[in-house]
Structure formats: structure tokens, C-alpha cells
Structure 1
Amino acid sequence: MKFSYQFSNLLGTVYKKGDLLFSPDGNSVISPVGNKISIFDLKNNKSATLPVESRFNYTALDLSPNGRFLLAIDDAGKAFYISMVTQTILHTYHFKRKVSRVKFSPDGKYFAICKESLVFVYKAPGYSVGELNPFELVKCMRGAYDDTSCIDWSSDSKVIAIGSKDMITRIYGINRFANFGIQSLGSHRDAIIACFFEENSLDITTIGRNGHLTVWECNIELADLKLWVPEEVVQTEDDDEKPDDVDDSRAESTEDQEKADKRREKEISMEEEEVATILSYKRASRHYLKELIKDNPKATLISAAYHKSTHMLVTGFSNGAFFLHEMPDVNLIHSLSISEQNINSLAINNTGDWIALGCSKLGQLVVWEWQSETYVMKQQGHYNNMYCLDYSPDGQFIVTGGGDGKVKIWNTLTGFCVVTFNEHTSAVTGVQFSKNRKSVISASLDGTVRLFDMIRYRNYRTYTSPRPAQFSCVAMDNTAEFAAAGGQDTFEIYLWSMRNHRLLEVLCGHEGPVVSISFSPSVSGTTLASVSWDKTIKIWNTIESGSDHETIEMQSSVVCVAYRPDGEQLAVATLDGQISFFETKFANQTGYIDGKKDLGAGRSDTDLITAKQNLKGKSFTSLCYTADGECILAGGQSKNVCIYHVGEALLMTKFEITQNRSLDGVDDFISRRNMSEYGNLALVEKREEGDVSIKLPGVKKGDMAARSFKPEVRVYGIHFSPTGTAWAAASTEGLIVYSLDQGMMFDPFFLDESITPDSVKKTVKSKEWSKALMMAIKLNEKPLLQEVLESVPHQDIELTARTMPVMYAERVLQFVGLALESTRHIEYYLLWVEHLLTSHGQHLRQTSAESMPLLLTLEKSVNRRHDDLSKLCDFNKYTLEYVLRQAKMRQAKLEAQQATDDDEEVMCVDD
């Protein structure tokens, strides 16, 4: 079992807060997702998360004009200069204060940041601009009486406009110009939200928070700006080459006279130019955009974006509406409302066709094509926390349930949400895929258990209890014939038949809420294990004995139960932080793990006890066995996820899922900046009433009535992929996926000194296919193994697969299953799969427990390629039908035309 799992992707969360960006080609959207950054490829329909993590949430982002560098700044003012080519951090810089905006100049040589009432301009490092010294300060711009809120550069990167909350927009020059000074543009009655220069012009548009839009015209062009020349003597080349025979006194007097004449001429010419071309602005027009929102007069303008080449302005309001206007006449082009919450960020791609909108409160990211009025992408995570998850049998999909009552299906390959079911009216507490991947079952606190069809994407059946009950967990057996759900308030377990959809049994016996249930994964097993807060584990034989059960007493309340993949072992987690193991045949305890110290303490800002005392209340709340059953994955009320070896009861590795200090409970100690002589300042909430924000015992979400609160970091659910190559955790930040990096791992297999890449290639040239393939497997280098495998002629595949030993055949099958996801030689690799399974299928059936991850990986790859090819074939099929139909219509038209021509010829002959 390998434990080199690395962070792979972040699902379930598409936008938190901050600036949205489009890539220079306009095909990708860059979105800040908490303390991580996700990239959504709209052309290839994929998403990826950069392996860059900050200690606080990102808020200000901007991309260099060439798309190679990303500047991301978090809440604490720490800047990360990231290379988009290598996806690594090149440099970090701490601004010590919160930065509201950052903007690269159009030529990529500078970037400006807004920090409080100041704006700083730095040189942008990079080979393209010839500057390698990072964050070299060029200029500091002062003058604002309040915090600065927006920045925009002129097209030639010489002039910068700065908007502030003091309702004034100021124009500065990066260099000193002779006919230019600091310009202050007023006429607004609220804070400036955005300001935009026109392309190749100094004309500017300013927008206030109250919806006032003002268009300003400049009396000069960009080319008319004159650099200021200091009044100092500029030596000429003739001065240095003065002849020796010339009298010095005479030369100095003549020289001084010439310099005085030149200075006088220069002053006169500059005075004439200043009188003629001094820069000034006049207000051309003023518009009130809020008039378009008649149903909500209290709505305010939150964000704006401007596409300079097409003169298109997009504005977003606090009621979820956004408008498109054509500038400078401010003609309304399009209007739409996507939600009822703030549109916090807007972005337009390079062609001006797509508009990206982000809503932080809903966690929603929308890309809208305004010309066709269609969604290019519409993704939204769970509104509240994500409480449960489950992998599909082939590992291609993940189903999640959240506190918002929604059930979402996520594609692990693309990272996008496939479908959302919103039939539940309360929090979803349990979800599970059926073994045939055709249906999903979910349980909710609304008292219903629902079945969803994964083919037609609909809720086709709903189960309820005889008397109203809140369901806290759900399970489905291996054959998808029975479903069970545990009651949170009735302390009962309800069993339904999924064939006739009737309630079969109500299992009574628990004296506390039933928090977790699980069916035995054995083929013919209908054994059900349930745990409760009454400190008992009950094992039910649901079909043969009905309500008769076996009870195992525990020392503490039990919160989770999980079966080993072969069904011969049972693991339970208790509130005292222990994981106990029982063999299922005789219900004897075989071992236990004390994992309390591995959880990590974590102290909230408002905790009145230390982290050491807080650790006593921590426990694991979710368990899952690995694919081979040797190890177990455990997560709970902390930021750590642990993998233990079951047989040795040892901690194999521990993963820290987040370092985000914007969440509560990440640090073990409270910062001394928050400690005063009167106590912890975090206990005093900043509001007029002075209420204390002390959370109640057992509260998971935080005080929702508080003006500001930090969600506490937790791992609500974990699950291992059936293929054994990845695992996922449902946490406060979203659905975090960790996977093995197959390409970077060197894992030799029975390697000896005689096996080298050269010897393998020599064996291939001698056409000893089976020997060469076994040598490549021993060396276990992916490029070499692929070269040897694809060099085997298709007519020799059957013989090579038949003569290969079983242990090598499993390795080849594993490589083929991974290669099928990306290769173009689909038929060739499917021939390998067919002959390997035909020759060694009997052995794989006998060792099904060990070979199950291998077969599931193969099934996942085949299903994915089938889905891709079926869509392509259907498209080609309908296209060919259309072409044939057009050909038939054209042939019929030609035949009719020919018949008409023949009739006309006959009539002419008769005449």
C-alpha cells in the first residue's frame, strides 16, 4: 500500500470571495476558492486547483498580460507571485495591511496595489520585461482621504486612475509630465466602485456605489503628454572635445551665453505649450444606473467590469441583477438576474463574449454568453457545510450531501458538478451509490429517504416512516435489494425492500439516536451493523431473524461504523477517540487504536480552555477502509486525517487538509495580539450592543446571528476510492481530493542488475515480446513499459498474454487500465484487456479481494472512454443522417429539374 498521496483537486467549492480573472486566451476562468486558487477550463470542460496554499483567504488577484504570472494577495496582506507555467511560488512579500485591489499595467512592466489610502507601484519581475528584482518600489501615490477601492491603467501604461471611498477619482502619471498634474474628479455622492480609461485615450468613466455613472472627457490625447525635463545643463559632445589652444576664459563666457540663450528659448516654448495643451477634464454626461432596478430601490452597485475594445460595460448589483451597457452613450444592451444575492466580482474575456460572475454568499460561479443568452458554465457548491459523501463503484463520480438539502454528483475527472437534486427540504445526513452505479440513495432530517436515477437524473422513489422521524444515516446492501435508515429521534432502524418499495421491518432495540449503519459487503450478506449514542453496537440479520440481534457493549458512545471490504472485520469509532476492531463471525474484539493525540488539538478564538483540554473532547467521526483492507482512514473534529495500519495498530501517515487561518480551530494557540489585560478580545464582538459571541455547546455551524463569525475546521466525512488511487474528504472548505502521482513514483518489481533500458530495447528488437514485457515490468518505468507494450503486433497479443505469468499479467492489466484514460489506441489496448482477462480471469476471480481495485480501475477507464465515444458517435450518426437526407433531397430536386427540362424539349420538338 502506497501512502504518497498528494493534494489533487478541490471540488464542491467554486468561488468564495475575491477577484475573478480570465486567461489571456479567454478560455479559462481563475477563481479564488478560500486559501486556494482554482482554474476552470471552459474549452475542455475541466477544473484544476493550483498546488499553492496561503494561510488566509485570497481576495485580490491579477494576471500579467502575457498570462505567465499570477499575483495573489490574501486577507492578511501577504502577496504570492506565482508562475502559471510551473505552478510554483516565485516570490512572497508581506504588505502588513489588507490590500483591496491589485492591477498589472498593460505592458506588463508594473503593477499597482491599493493599501488603505495609499497606492504603491512596483516593477513586475520577469524575463519579458527584463527585470528580475522582485517587488521593487517605483512610486507611492498619496492624497486620498479614505481607503482606495479601484485602479485602472491607461493603454500606454503611463497614467493611472485611482478611485477612493472619499468619492473622488484621482489621475496620476507614472512619470513626471510637463503638461500634467494630479487631477481630482468629483461629482459623486458615494464611494467609487470602479473607474475605466477608454482605449488609446485619457477619457475616463467613473462609477459610484449608488449607481451614478459619470463620463469624463480629456482635452488632450495620450500622444500629447510631454515628459518634464529638469532645468539643468546638458553637456554636448563638443564640450568634452574642446581644443587645447582655445582660451579658457573666452570659451567659458561664450559657452555661458549660448546656454543662457538655449534656456530662455526652452522656457518660452514650454510656456507656450503649457498654455496651449495643459491637461484638464470636463464632465461629458452623467447617468443613474439604479433607475433600471425599480423593484428594489435599496440595491447598491457592488462590482463592474469594462471591455475597452468593444466599449461594453457590465455592472453587478446587490440584488443579483447585472446590466450590459454600450459606452460612452450608456445604451442598455442586456439585463439579467441570476440570484438574489450580491454579485461580488465580474470579469469579461478577451473577445467580450463571455462574462464571469461570482456570488460569494451562495458560492456560485457563472459564465454567461450574452449574445446567445446561454450559460457556458454554471457551478455552485453546497450553501452550507458538506456532511456526507460516497464514491461510485468505479471511482468516476462522487455523491455529496449538504446542510442545504441538496444532493450533488461530482465528476472526479473534470471536477464539475454533473447534476444537483434539490428535492430534500432539510439537511442531507447520508448518501450512498448502488453497486451497479444506476441509482443513489439519500437520507435527510426532513423524514424522507429518496432514490435518484443516475440515467434519467430524477427522484423516482421516496420512502417515509410510519411515524415522522428524522433520519441520521442510510445504507444499501450489495445487491441493491434492501435499504435501511436510522432514526435520530425515534431510536429505530427502518428497512425497505427496493423491489416492491415497501417497508419490511422496524428494528427496535437502541436507546439513543442511531448515528451510523452499514450493510456487510459480502456477496450474499444481509447483515446490518448499527451504532448509537447508547454505547452499543448491534448486529442484525435483517432477513432471517428480523429484530433479533447481537449486542456489543462499549465504554463510550459510538459515532461511526465501517465494514472491511471482505466483510470479515468491523471498525467502530467512539467519543473517547478510540477505534475498535471486531471480527464479524464471533463478534470478538481483535484490536484497538487510541487516536486522540493524532487528531490535533486546535483552539478556537473564543475558547475559554486551552488546546490541551480541548483535545479531550475530540474524536473521530468518520471511518473508511482502504481498498485492500489493510489500513483504515479516519477523520473527525480537526484538520487532520489519519491512515492507520489495522494489523499493527500504527499511524502510517497524517494529512493536514488545510492551513487556512481564516477558519477557526486551525491554530493550537491564540495570538497574543488578541490577548489584553482584560482577557481575550475575540470574546467581544464589534457591534454597538456589545454582545459576547460565545458559541453554545455542540454548535457545529457557529453563531449565525453574529455580525461576523469564522467557521470551524472539521472533517465531516471521508471515503476511499474503490480503485485505491485516491481518497476524498468532505470538510469545511469543500470536497478535498488526494491522489497518488503515478508518473513521479519509481517502484521496481523484482529488479536485478541485468535489467536496464538498453537490454529491454535489445530484447524488443529480437522480437521476444513476453520476455521484453516482463523485463519492462520489473524496471517499472512508465514510458519504457508503454514503448514495449505498443511494439507488440496485434496478432501476437493473444499468445503474449497467454504465456505471461499471473503476477506479471496483473501488472500489465493495471498499466493498461491507467493508459486507457488518455491513449488514442483504444482498440489496441482493449485487445490486451480481452486476452488478459480471458487467459487469467479464473485466477482474478479466485483472488477477487486483492484484484478488486485493479478491476475497478479498468472499469472506470472503459466507462469513461465509452461515454466519450458514445457522444461522438451519436453526433456523427445524426450528422451523417442529415447529410444523407440533404443528398436525397438534392437528388430528388435534380431529377425533378431534369424531368421538367425533358418535357420542355419534347414540347419544342412538337412545335
Structure 2
Amino acid sequence: MKFAYRFSNLLGAVYRRGNLSFSKDGNSVISPVGNRISVFDLKNNKSETLPVSTAKNITCVGLSPDGNLAILVDEDGAALLISLITRAVLHHFHFHKPVASIRFSPDGRKFVVTKENVALMYHAPGRNREFNAFVLDKSYYGPYDETTCIDWTDDSKCFVVGSKDMSTWVFGAERWSNLIYYSLGGHKDIMVGCFFEKDSLDLYTVSQDGTLCVWESDTELDGLVLRKTRLPAERGEEEERGEGEEEEPRGEVIRGKGERPKEKEGTKNVRYKQRSKHFFNKEGDFNNLTAAAFHKPTHILVTGFASGIFHLHELPEFNLIHSLSISDQRIATVSMNSSGDWIGFGCSGLGQLLVWEWQSESYVFKQQGHFNNMAALAYSPDGQYIATGGDDGKVKVWNMTSGLCFVTFTEHTSSVTNVTFTSRGFVIVSASLDGTVRAFDLHRYRNFRTFTSPRPAQFSSLAVDPSGDLVSAGAQDSFEVFIWSMQTGRLLEVLGGHEGPVSCLCFSPVQSILASASWDKTVRLWDMMDSWQTKETLRLTSDGLAVSYRPDGQELAVATLDGEISFWSPQSANQTGSVSGRHDLKMGRKETEKITSKQSAKGKSFTSLCYSADGESILAGGQSKFVCIYNIREQILMKKFEISCNLSLDAMEEFLDRRKMTEFGSLALVDEGVGDGDGVELSLPGVRKGDMSSRHFKPEIRVSSLRFSPTGRSWAATSTEGLLTYSLDGALVFDPYDLDLDVTPASVRRQLRQAKWAAAIVLAFRLNETALTQEVLEAVPHHQIAVVCGSLPDVYVEKLLGFIASALERCGHLQFYLSWSQSLLTQHGQKLKTRSGAVLPTIQSLQKSIQKHFEDLSKLCDWNMYTIRYAVALSKQKGVKRTAGDALCDKDESEDSEVMSEASLEETDMLIKNCVALLDSICIKAFSD
């Protein structure tokens, strides 16, 4: 088994905090999610999380005008310069203070950062390699309070900065003699946005109390005059720094003052006058304005409010175009794409991300993660979908190809504790603390079964038998296991015997035996065919937390409270091995803990287990930031994955900062300070979950559930940050097979030129480079595929099937690779059935890829055939008189075209069905073995 899993995607969280940015073409939106950023392709309906992360949560993102570079700044002011093309980190930098906003100039040569009460202008990173990519050019002082927003003129000559001291400052990016700085007032609250008019120095300023000021300049952009060379005395006076100010490494310093700069001889300084003033809160119901964006070409201003309402106004007349309520939470950020058609909204309270097309008044994109932590996940049998349940009582289903949620079930009224798919993959079953177990239909998206107990019980565990007929759920308050029939919805049996909460349930994949783990230090095996009797009772060393069957049903793994994973034989009820995983958890110390992390680790354990597809390894996760893979036979740790390095989460560091420690404990024990709300909220007694109404709440890092994909090429885990997926990416890892000195790309291509197709394929797989293997396969003529498949050695058949499965997901040569699949399965099907257990992950991966294409193409083919039939029927009903010969000719031509189109469509359809049928037969043989 390979262990080169790498971070693939982050699902379940689409927005946390910070500003949204659209790509240059306007078809993608970049959203900060915790300490990572996700790119949502709105045109192709896909999402991708970049494999870069900051030390803490990202607060602002600056995107270059060409869309190739991005600057990410976290809560402490640490910045990363990343390439959006290569997804690599190019430079690290630290501003040493929190940064409110960052903005590139339109020409891409400079960018401005607002930090405290100063605006810093840097030279933008160039195409050449530099030791220091961020070179400070100028420092602009003027505001007395923190700066909040920035905007540039279209020619990059000037920029404007808004501040919390209710003032707006216009600065010259170059040394202009008639515009050094200019201060504007007129507001009574914090500045939210300030925007230049297109190709002009005219300004719009927006404040938090809903006031819009329109400022008119008496000078055009081409009227700015460069200053002459300064005298040494003048230069020294300007660069003089005030006492106690932060020392900048380099750069010119420009200081704004309350009075206007003096005019020099022959030059007239730029002046502003207030043309008009508008108010958003005319009705009197006061509502804070929280976000604003301005699209210069169309003169449209978008404003978001704390109540979840947004307005569209046309400036400078302030004509209301549109108004809509999109959420009941505060709108944290607003952004518009380059064309001005789409508007992006981010709501940090619920983690919502919306893209609205204002002309058609419709949603282009609408996603929301779980409001609270995720508690459970389950893969569908084909690996295409993942179902998750959260503490917010919702069940969401995610498409693994697009990374987006396509359905949300909200019937539960309390936390969802477990979810699972039935064996056919069309039904999702979920258990909740509200005392119900619900079954959801993925065809009609409805709750078609609700299972309840005779007396109220909180269900903490769930399992469905392989046939999908029996549903079992364990209660954490009555210590019983309930069995229902999926067909009738009736309660069949109540299994008693446990003396503690039932923490986990699992059905055997090959027999009708249910394993239940409990806090009473036992695992009970229940025989579903023999009057629901206890077949065996396994005694544990501590409380049972998780239980899992091996895919062949010949082994049982149990995780206990003492950090041990024990392995048992279900037939003999004997323990076959154990793994001590307490030292592998390495739990950090929480800020409010009064004991060290070493002492705290003694109470940590694994809470979720999952076998790999081949049954040789087991995946374990729990109260830690690490996920471990153990080899069962050798009982050793094979690899450990760190799922997060976000220091904004609690229990990430082993030792606390000594500067925050006092003789009475950590300073984090003191609950004070004001957050983004309207004041300080005191901790409420009796609250056990959430932020405890505290303003200094830091969620603790942990893994609540994890699962291997049925294909074996990826695994997923639900954590505090969201749903993380890790996958094997062959393009990133060089993993040769039977490598020799003679196996080189040149020798592979030499075999291709000599038309030795089978030898070229064997050499390509020995080198195991994805691009080269694809080049060799696609060079084989179509009529030679069957001959090449017959001459391939058996050891390379499975490798070729695995490569075809991955190639079908990303390549457009559908019929070509389906021909390869059909020839391989036809000629080597019997040999594959004899070792079906070993090749099952590969077969399931191929089946997943083919099934996805079959679902997409079948809809398109059916629609085309119905359209052709409709066009033929429509032509027959026209009121034009025709002769009998013309009508007969038209009928024959239409029937011929219809038959030809249907034949071409059915050819590809039949090819897909043949491959699916062959794969089904191998899968059935594997499960029966």
C-alpha cells in the first residue's frame, strides 16, 4: 500500500473572514477559509483549495492585476507571496502588526498596505528573482486611528485611504507638486469604503452609519505636476521622524497634517469640495453599513448591511437599482467581478459565500458549510459523494469531483452524531440526539423514513447492514441498541446488555453480525439471524470508543479510552494484536488548561477508526491534530499526517508562551475585550458547547470522524477546520516500479517509434511517470488495442486499469479509454476474478469514473434523441401542402437521420454499459469471496 497521501481539498467551509477577490477573467472567486484560500470556478462549477497555509487565520488577500500573484496576510501581519499558477510560496514577509487591507495598483508595479495609522507603499514583486521581494518605497502618515480601506486611481498616480477616525486621506503615489496629501472629513462614523471615479480624482466615501459623500476635484488626472528635485535641507526636514514611531527599514516618509500643504509659486494645489451627501438609513431604522464595493465602468455601488440586506445604487445620482435580503447575518465583505455582472458576498457568521447576478436577479453560486463542528462523514459506495453531519443538525452531501455541496437535509432538530450510506448508495441514514434516525432518498431529495424508539433516547451511533434492510442505532442514555426494518420502518428488536453508553456500531461485511462498543469496557457481537442473541462478548482494558470491521470480515479493530487499538478475531474471540497510540497523538496544551500537555495527553485517545481497502492498514484519528496510519501485521506506525498548522486554533502548541503566563495562570483565563459585536458578552453558566458567549473563544483542534475512500486512493477526515481530503497524486510523487538503468524516457519513445506498443507500455509503467504513460497509451492505434491487451503481462494489467481509471476523470478521449477498459476486462476478466480482493480498489475506482461519464452522457443522449424526434414531428405538422413524393422523401430522410444519430449515440452508450457490466461482475465476485 502507498502512503504518499497529500492534501487535496477542503470541503465543508467556503468562507470564514477576510475579503473576497475575483480573478482577472471574473469567472473565479478567491475566498479565505481559515489559514487557507479556496478558488471557486463559477463557470465549471468546481472548487480547489490551494496547498499553502499561513500560521494563523487570513484577514486580507491582495490579488495582482494580471491574476498571477496573491499576497496573503494573517492576523499577526505575517504575509505570504504565492503564485496562483504554480500554487507555490514565493516569499515570506512580516509586517509585525495586523493589516487591515492590501491593494495592488492597476499597473501592477506597486501595492499599498494599511497598518495601524500608516499606509505603506511597496514595489510589487517583479519577474526577476530577488532576495527581498517586498521593497518599501514610501510611508504615508496622516490618520490618527487605524486605517481601514484603500483605492487607487486608474492610472496608478494617486490612492485614497479611509480611517477609523472618520477621515479620508488622498495621497500621491509619485512626487506631485500639487498633490502631496489631502484630508477629507464629512463623516460621523468609521470609514467602510472610499472609491475613485473612473479616470478622475473625484471621490465617493462611505461610512458605517450609512452616509455617502460625493467629492469633486478641481483637477484632472493629467493635471498633476511632478515635483522638481528637492533641496538637501528640505529632504532632511521631510524624512525627520517623530519620537516613539516605528522604525521602517527604508523608503521616503510623507506626513499629512491637519492643515493643507502650502502652495508653491506657479502651482495650484488640488482641492476638493463636497458635491452632495446621501443617507442609506432614511426610514429611521438604524442599520450599520458593514461592506461596500464600487464598479467604476458602470458607476454601481454595492453596500452590505449588518442585517443581511444589500443595496445597489447608481452614482453619482444615488438611484436605487436593486435591494435584497440574502441572509439574516452580517455581510462581512462585498466584491464585484471585472464585468460588473456578478457580486460576491461573504457572511462570516454562518460561513456563507454567495455570488449574485444582479441583472437576472439569480444566484450564480450559493454555498454554506456547517455552522458548528462536523461530527460524522461517510463515503458513498462508488466514492463519488461524501455525506457529513454536524452539530447544527444538518446533513450535507458533497460531490467529490466538484467539491461542492448539492443537497442539504434540515429535518433533524439537534446535533447529528452519525451518518452512513446503504450498500446501493442511493439512501443516506443519519442518527441524531433529537431521538430520531432518518433515511433520505438521493433521487428525490426527501426524508422517506423516520425511525424512533418507544421511549425518548439520544442516538450516538449508527450502522446499516450490507443488504440495507436492517438499521441499528445505539443510545447514549438508555444503553440499548435498537433495530428497525428499512422496508417497513417498524422497530424489530431492542438489544439490551450494555451497562454504559453505546459509542459505536458496525456490521460485518460478510455476515449478519453486529458489533457494538460501549463505555462498559466491552464489545458485544450480536447475531442477527439467531434470535438477536449475543454471540460473543469481548472484554476490553478500558472504555470502548470506536469499532471497525476489516473489509473481508475476518478481523475487528477496537479503539479504547487508554489510547490503545486492539485487534480481535470475530470467530475465536481472541485478541490478535494491539497498537499503543497515545504517544503518537501528541496533544498540545490549551490556553485555559492548568496542567501541562504531557499530563493532558494521558486522557486523549482515538475516537475514529477505518480499515484501508486492502485491509493491511488502519487509519486512526481523535483528540489531536494528527491522523495516523498503522500497519496491522507489523503493528507499527507507517505515517502520521498533521491536518492543520493553524495557530488560531487551540491546543496546537505543546508549550504556552511564557510572556502570557503569570503566577495565577495563563492570561487567556481572563475573559475581556471587545470583538466584532456591539460590546462585551459575559460567559453564561450552564453552556457546554460553542463559544460559551465568550469573546476570546478559540476552537480546539480535533478529528471527529475519518474514512477511507472505497477506491483506496484517498481518505477524508472531519475536523475543526472542515472536511479535509487527502489523495494519492501520481503527478507529484515519483514512484517507479522495477526500475533499471536502461529504463529512460528516451528508451520508451524509441520503442514507440519501432511500433513495439506492449514493450513501450511496460517500460512506461516501470518508469511510472503520468505524462509519459499517457503519451504512450494515446500513441497506440485503435485497431491494435485488443492485440496489445492480450500481450501484456498480468502484473501490468492492474496498473493499466488503475491508470485508465484516473485518466477517464481528466481526459476527453472517452471512447478510446473505454476501448482499453473493455479489451482488458474481456481478456483478463477471469484472472482478475481469482484475485478479486486485491484488485477491488482498482475496479471500484474504474467503476466510479465510468459511472460518472455514463450518468452525464445518458442525460445528454436522451435529450438529443427527444429533440430529434420533436423536430421530425414538428416538420410533419407544418401547414405547407406537399406532394406525396416529397412527403415520402422527407419521411425517409428524417428517419435515416434519426436512425444514424441514435446509432452513433447508442454505440458509445453500449460501450459504457459493457464496461459497467464487466466491472459489476468482478465486484460481485469480490464481495462473494
The TM-score normalised by the length of structure 1 is 0.90
1:851-904 residue CA offsets vs partner (Å, 9 max, x unmatched): 110111011110121233234334544554565566556x535869xx9xxxxx
Does the 8 A contact of 1:198 with 1:204 survive in 2? yes
Unaligned residue ranges in structure 1 (runs of 5+): 234-269, 900-911
Decide whether aligned partners of structure 1 residues 120 and 796 sit closer, same or farther in structure 2, where only a CA change above 3 A counts: closer
**How far is 1:419 from its partner?**
1.0
Matched, 1:369 2:357: yes
After superposition, where does 1:148-163 map in structure 2 within 5 Å? 148-163=147-162
After superposition, where does 1:245-324 map in structure 2 within 5 Å? 273-274=266-267, 277-291=268-282, 297-324=285-312
Matched, 1:69 2:69: yes
Select the residue among 693, 706, 731 that pairs with 1:705. 693
Matched, 1:500 2:491: no
Select the residue among 415, 435, 454 that pairs with 2:403. 415
After superposition, where does 1:713-752 map in structure 2 within 5 Å? 713-752=701-740
Does the 8 A contact of 1:685 with 1:691 survive in 2? no
1:127 alignment counterpart: 127
Select the residue among 813, 825, 832 that pairs with 2:813. 825
1:892 alignment counterpart: 879
Does the 8 A contact of 1:683 with 1:694 survive in 2? no
Q: Secondary structure in 2 aligned to 1:798?
A: helix
Matched, 1:209 2:197: no
After superposition, where does 1:9-408 map in structure 2 within 5 Å? 9-127=9-127, 133-230=132-229, 273-274=266-267, 277-291=268-282, 297-408=285-396
Matches of 1:30 and 1:390, distance apart in 2: 28
Matches of 2:551 and 2:56, distance apart in 1: 39
Matches of 1:229 and 1:193, distance apart in 2: 36
1:814-852 residue CA offsets vs partner (Å, 9 max, x unmatched): 222122112222222222222322232233333222111
Matches of 2:148 and 2:571, distance apart in 1: 68
Matches of 1:732 and 1:305, distance apart in 2: 32
**How far is 1:794 from its partner?**
3.5
Matches of 2:835 and 2:406, distance apart in 1: 34
Matched, 1:590 2:576: yes
Matches of 2:78 and 2:757, distance apart in 1: 57
1:815 alignment counterpart: 803
Matches of 1:109 and 1:771, distance apart in 2: 53
Decide whether aligned partners of structure 1 residues 106 and 893 sit closer, same or farther in structure 2, where only a CA change above 3 A counts: farther
1:258 alignment counterpart: none
Decide whether aligned partners of structure 1 residues 104 and 782 sit closer, same or farther in structure 2, where only a CA change above 3 A counts: closer
Matches of 1:451 and 1:800, distance apart in 2: 48
Does the 8 A contact of 1:701 with 1:711 survive in 2? no
**How far is 1:10 from its partner?**
0.5
Matches of 1:8 and 1:152, distance apart in 2: 35
Does the 8 A contact of 2:213 with 2:276 survive in 1? yes
2:654 alignment counterpart: 668
Q: Secondary structure in 1 aligned to 2:730?
A: coil
Matched, 1:786 2:774: yes
Decide whether aligned partners of structure 1 residues 99 and 893 sit closer, same or farther in structure 2, where only a CA change above 3 A counts: farther
**How far is 1:478 from its partner?**
1.1
Letter in 2 for 1:127: R
Decide whether aligned partners of structure 1 residues 77 and 769 sit closer, same or farther in structure 2, where only a CA change above 3 A counts: closer
Matches of 1:684 and 1:404, distance apart in 2: 29
**How far is 1:395 from its partner?**
1.3
Decide whether aligned partners of structure 1 residues 746 and 158 sit closer, same or farther in structure 2, where only a CA change above 3 A counts: closer
Letter in 2 for 1:158: K
Letter in 1 for 2:92: T
Decide whether aligned partners of structure 1 residues 218 and 692 sit closer, same or farther in structure 2, where only a CA change above 3 A counts: closer
Decide whether aligned partners of structure 1 residues 616 and 23 sit closer, same or farther in structure 2, where only a CA change above 3 A counts: same
**How far is 1:232 from its partner?**
6.7
After superposition, where does 1:468-507 map in structure 2 within 5 Å? 468-507=456-495
Select the residue among 606, 612, 629 that pairs with 1:620. 606
* Farther off after superposition, 541-550 or 617-626: 541-550
Decide whether aligned partners of structure 1 residues 634 and 282 sit closer, same or farther in structure 2, where only a CA change above 3 A counts: same
Decide whether aligned partners of structure 1 residues 789 and 634 sit closer, same or farther in structure 2, where only a CA change above 3 A counts: same
Does the 8 A contact of 1:40 with 1:48 survive in 2? yes
Q: Secondary structure in 2 aligned to 1:867?
A: helix
The TM-score normalised by the length of structure 2 is 0.88
Does the 8 A contact of 1:126 with 1:132 survive in 2? no
* Farther off after superposition, 510-519 or 844-853: 844-853
Letter in 1 for 2:177: A
Matches of 1:610 and 1:517, distance apart in 2: 34
Decide whether aligned partners of structure 1 residues 880 and 59 sit closer, same or farther in structure 2, where only a CA change above 3 A counts: farther
Does the 8 A contact of 1:802 with 1:839 survive in 2? yes
Q: In percent, how many aligned pairs have the same letter?
A: 52
2:839 alignment counterpart: 851
Q: Secondary structure in 1 aligned to 2:817?
A: helix
**How far is 1:759 from its partner?**
4.7
Letter in 1 for 2:87: Q
1:869 alignment counterpart: 857
**How far is 1:14 from its partner?**
0.3
Decide whether aligned partners of structure 1 residues 223 and 442 sit closer, same or farther in structure 2, where only a CA change above 3 A counts: same
1:561-606 residue CA offsets vs partner (Å, 9 max, x unmatched): 0111111000010110000000111111001011001001210111
Matches of 1:196 and 1:813, distance apart in 2: 57
Decide whether aligned partners of structure 1 residues 509 and 758 sit closer, same or farther in structure 2, where only a CA change above 3 A counts: same
Aligned residues between the structures: 850
1:703-756 residue CA offsets vs partner (Å, 9 max, x unmatched): 422123000001000111111111111000000111111123333334455555
Matches of 1:477 and 1:806, distance apart in 2: 35
Matches of 1:704 and 1:291, distance apart in 2: 37
Matches of 2:318 and 2:162, distance apart in 1: 20
Unaligned residue ranges in structure 2 (runs of 5+): 233-262, 887-929
Q: Secondary structure in 2 aligned to 1:807?
A: helix
Matches of 2:341 and 2:448, distance apart in 1: 39
Does the 8 A contact of 2:681 with 2:695 survive in 1? no
Does the 8 A contact of 2:464 with 2:507 survive in 1? yes
Decide whether aligned partners of structure 1 residues 894 and 8 sit closer, same or farther in structure 2, where only a CA change above 3 A counts: farther
After superposition, where does 1:391-470 map in structure 2 within 5 Å? 391-470=379-458
**How far is 1:146 from its partner?**
1.1
Decide whether aligned partners of structure 1 residues 767 and 639 sit closer, same or farther in structure 2, where only a CA change above 3 A counts: same
1:534 alignment counterpart: 520
1:653-679 residue CA offsets vs partner (Å, 9 max, x unmatched): 101100101000000111122123543
Matches of 2:871 and 2:420, distance apart in 1: 45
**How far is 1:702 from its partner?**
4.8
Decide whether aligned partners of structure 1 residues 893 and 554 sit closer, same or farther in structure 2, where only a CA change above 3 A counts: same
Aligned-pair RMSD on alpha carbons? 2.4
Does the 8 A contact of 1:701 with 1:712 survive in 2? no
Does the 8 A contact of 2:333 with 2:346 survive in 1? yes
**How far is 1:289 from its partner?**
0.8
Q: Secondary structure in 2 aligned to 1:821?
A: helix
After superposition, where does 1:602-641 map in structure 2 within 5 Å? 602-641=588-627
Does the 8 A contact of 1:73 with 1:99 survive in 2? yes
Q: Secondary structure in 1 aligned to 2:879?
A: helix
Matches of 2:782 and 2:270, distance apart in 1: 77
Does the 8 A contact of 1:565 with 1:849 survive in 2? no
